Chain A
Amino acid sequence: MYVESKKGKTRELWQFHGGLHLPEKKEMSLQRPLQQARLPRRLVLPLQQHIGVQAQPQVAVGDSVLKGEIIAGSAAPVSAPVHAPTSGIVVEIAEHVVPHPSGLTGLCIVIEPDGDDRWGELPDPISDFHSVDSEILRRRIRDSGIVGLGGATFPSAIKLNPGKPIKTLIINGAECEPYITCDDRLMRDQAERVMNGARILQHMLQSEECLIAIEDNKPEAILEMFQQLREEENIEVVRIPTLYPSGGEKQLIRILTGREVPTSGLPAQVGVICHNVATAAAIADAVLEGRPLISRIVTVTGEGISEPGNLEAPLGMLAGDLIAQAGGYLEAQPQQLILGGPMMGFDLSTDQVPITKGTNCLLCPTAKETPPPQPARACIRCGRCADVCPANLLPQQMYWYSRAKDLEKVQDYNLFDCIECGCCSHVCPSHIPLVQYYRYAKAESWAMEQERRESEHAKQRHDFRVSRLQRLEAERKAKLRKKKEDLKKPAAAKREDPNKGGDDKGAKQAAIEAAMRRAAEKKAKQQQAPKNTDNLTAAQQAQIEAVDERRKVARKKMQKEEQPR
């Protein structure tokens, strides 16, 4: 398939396996123009809004802060600072519910806005970015707290240091999930920001080409972006067919380049880097204006919302406050609130969670829109799941093995290539929550691996201890023997006996050799470790961390329950 991507230029497109045509339901939130959310009375800013090391508070309770001021940061390479979204006073630094599938809490800085919305000192704008070293730009992007705004929240600066030549820079404006329109809105209303971001990114990566990919159900956005194109630049706007999940990084790379990212590899390995359109816009702000990431566009939609639309919300605003600005709930008892889209988003148990850098959509559907799941029936092996799987997996086989807790077998079927897009669950005639089974199997596999590592570590320590004791014992005995012999020997016969000294040395030598041999064996063993836990992608790492977190919480809970007895 070929599409026009620039004046006088066509591009070939490829297809990925499977995929689904879903009811889009995007028009609902596109009725209204982009609104600026009013400042709420409280902003709750989680210190962990990104993948990587948590930021540490750099303010104390009672401090007054200015808009754009860094309030938390970390020196760790994979991390992102947090900025004050407005001026005000830090009233609390404490645990607060954060957006997480398990309803976990996390350390948050709570700011009470003073209403002045006064800017602090910002870094100088870099308007002529072409003449600036990309290392400086990268530092600017990092210091501005920019992470992947498509939902992955991986610190963007790291992705801009691939260490490999990049042929294709992809700006992802596919927005393939139903309901969500924040990227569409952004491209329609602020195409120039996105395009400037693309230019900066292309300059930094020195990529041959830059492709802005948009699904063809967004003609207005495509038109706006097209008008930003300049003849002399190597930037193209590619209209891709609407097919969920075309916005998945791996799928999009396949569509645009025909290449596949190797399993547990990174896009850079095939010469590609992907950034979301909102990330590009944020990068443009950071570089051209010195403005850090303190707000984002959030789609508030669903038939349970009175005035669905897109709102630019300060980070830290509570979901409930934002929904109130979208007219509030239509029903007295809304049944469900989803963070993200219907396919990959997760349910919130409360609307008192803050908007974070990764929050693209709040979806409040009615029971009619998303009826509660029916009880699952037995799998009839129809294979529809395999037909729609964008990773070309056999979801049904993975389901059987997950159910049987045969973790090895389920990994043989490439469990870890599953992107949890939900296509298989959507088409399953038996209404089996397939994705849930894969999450379970992944979590169990990681836990098993963790346990294996822990026991390996314990064994290692034990072995070291044994060998150390043996060595000490040997040394002690040798010393004793030597002493005895020295005593026995008459002082006159004080002569060097090479054999005796050799014995001593020999025992030491043997102990050392044995220890070295054991260490070498262990090393060899470690190198044969299971395939699933090496070279994890950022998203997988995030999942692992989430799982670990959940386990820790569960363990804490258990300990708490045990204590009173």
Chain B
Amino acid sequence: MEFQTTSSPHTKRINRVDKVMLQVVLALLPGIIAMAFYFGWGVLINIALAVISATAFEALIIKLRKRPVTPVLLDLSAVVTALLFAIAIPPLLPWWLVVLGMAFAIIMVKQMYGGLGYNPFNPAMAAYVLLLISYPVEMTSWLPPFMLAEQQLNPAQILAFKFAGILPEGVMLDAITMATPLDQMRTNLDLNRMISEIRQHPLWGDFGGLGWEWVGNWFLMGGIWMVYKRTITWQIPLAFLSGLVGMATIFWLFDAESFPFPLFHLFSGGAILGAFFIATDPVTACTTRAGQLIYGASIGVLVYIIRTWGGYPDAVAFAVLLMNMAAPTIDYYTRPRTYGHGGGTV
């Protein structure tokens, strides 16, 4: 009798890349629904645009590389990149910028390095930074949450604006867009206003911006679920948020009128999203558990530094890309002590 021979272990494998990616997608859903609820259809249109174009670019490149296309598309990594990018950009961003961002993320940042697993930088964040630097006005024109909007666009009007730049008659772009809470805080602080004064504005909720804080909350729920499901480890998010809150607390205690309180930092901008969904991208992050603590904390500290003294109101993308560069070095210096290599207890 002849039998097949394979290498040990001979077990049913318990994990799968596509399952991991699917869990990330599922964990993003509550936050995405909350975003769509507060900021309208533009969010969903961005997601559709990003997912379709990312998938198309991925398929194109894989085809050019003469590899089987289906298994690569089914690993869902392009979808995750697309989702992370789409929820980081303003809802009214012109369509071609979304597509351009995805082209850069998938072709230049991911596939040119060899595809999933080989890219040193987080594709979604690299694309975000490219657009932020090249198209600062478009990238910072956010919508207010619906409670504060004087005028809301319906889906057809949003599509008309995104694809043709046409606004309904009598509506000015300035009237419907609004700076993000982080942006507002920055601008006002630069004008030497006091924080208690700034927070009089109706934009502000309990911790961060109205609406924004709830989006952050739902991303937090998704993130905690991922930690529970072991899709991600707790090290990076915890260290990230501790770094950010730690810095914020120190400066807030020092001067509460010039430095926003810690919860504001936690629930504004991309902090929660970044901590659980972006910094935890395994491909570009540190892999040793000790390294992940250093990596996460450094991102948190960098976010605070750039938000407070840097040129941009939010900083998750910059901080993550900077630490992506440092990840291999951190990994090298945080190797665990192998069994039998000194330091045995007792």
* A residues neighboring B (CB under 8 Å): 14, 16-17, 22, 103, 178, 250, 254, 257-265, 270, 320, 334-338, 342-351, 363, 365, 369-375, 377-384, 386-387, 390-394, 396-397, 413-414, 417, 420, 422, 425-431, 433, 435-436, 439
Contacts and interface: CB of A to CB of B under 8 A. Distances in A.
A342 B37 CA distance: 51
Interface in B49-71: 71
B16 to A, nearest CB: 5
B301 to A, nearest CB: 23
Nearest to A424: B9
B338 A431 contact: no
A250 B340 contact: yes
Given A263-B338, A264-B340, 8 more contacts: A265-B340, A344-B9, A347-B6, A372-B6, A381-B282, A397-B331, A417-B341, A429-B20
B217 interface: no
A374 B3 CA distance: 18
23 contacts: A17-B336, A262-B341, A263-B340, A263-B341, A334-B3, A335-B4, A336-B3, A336-B10, A337-B3, A345-B10, A347-B10, A348-B5, A369-B12, A377-B71, A380-B282, A392-B337, A393-B336, A394-B287, A394-B336, A417-B340, A422-B8, A422-B11, A436-B7
B282 A426 contact: no
A137 B224 CA distance: 61
A386 B287 contact: yes
Given A343-B11, A378-B117, A383-B289, A414 B3 contact: no
| Chain B CB within 10 A, most for which of A344, A374, A382 | A382
B115 A378 contact: yes
B115 to A, nearest CB: 6
A391 B338 contact: yes
Contact of A435 (B4, B9, B77): B9
B160 interface: no
B15 A427 contact: yes
B11 A394 contact: no
A426 B17 CA distance: 13
B338 A417 contact: yes
A343 B10 CA distance: 6
Contacts of A373: 6, 13
B202 interface: no
A260 B73 CA distance: 45
B76 to A, nearest CB: 12
A413 B117 contact: no
A396 B9 contact: no
Given A265-B340, A386-B287, A379 B117 contact: yes
B327 to A, nearest CB: 9
A350 B5 CA distance: 10
Nearest to B339: A391
Contacts of A351: 1, 3
Contacts of B170: none
B88 to A, nearest CB: 21
B288 A342 contact: no
A392 B338 contact: yes
Contacts of B115: 378
A259 B282 CA distance: 33
B339 A390 contact: yes
Interface string B79-106: 0000000000000000000000000000
A370 B227 CA distance: 29
Contacts of B229: none
A153 B137 CA distance: 73
B233 interface: yes
A435 B10 CA distance: 11
Contacts of A397: 287, 331
Q: Which 5 A-B pairs have the closest CB atoms?
A: A422-B9, A378-B117, A260-B344, A429-B15, A347-B5
Contacts of A431: 13, 16
Interface string B25-47: 00000000000000000000000
B278 to A, nearest CB: 15
B193 interface: no
Contacts of B4: 335-336, 347, 372
Contact of B346 (A258, A338, A344, A414): A258
Contacts of A428: 13, 15
Contact of A430 (B9, B17, B331): B17
Given A259-B344, A396-B287, A414 B338 contact: yes
A457 to B, nearest CB: 31
Given A335-B4, A426-B11, A377 B75 contact: yes
A371 B339 contact: no
Contacts of B13: 373-374, 425-429, 431
Contact of A425 (B9, B17, B342): B9
A350 B4 CA distance: 9
Contact of A261 (B1, B19, B340): B340
B345 interface: yes
Interface string B321-340: 00000000001000111111
Contact of A349 (B3, B117, B118): B3
A380 B116 contact: yes
B6 A380 contact: no
B182 to A, nearest CB: 31
Contact of B336 (A16, A347, A392): A392
Interface in B95-146: 114-118
B14 interface: yes
Contacts of B340: 250, 260-265, 391, 417
B2 interface: yes
Contacts of B247: none
A393 B340 CA distance: 11
A19 to B, nearest CB: 12
Contacts of A378: 114-118
A364 to B, nearest CB: 9
A342 B15 contact: no
Contacts of A377: 17, 71, 75, 116-117
A23 B13 CA distance: 12
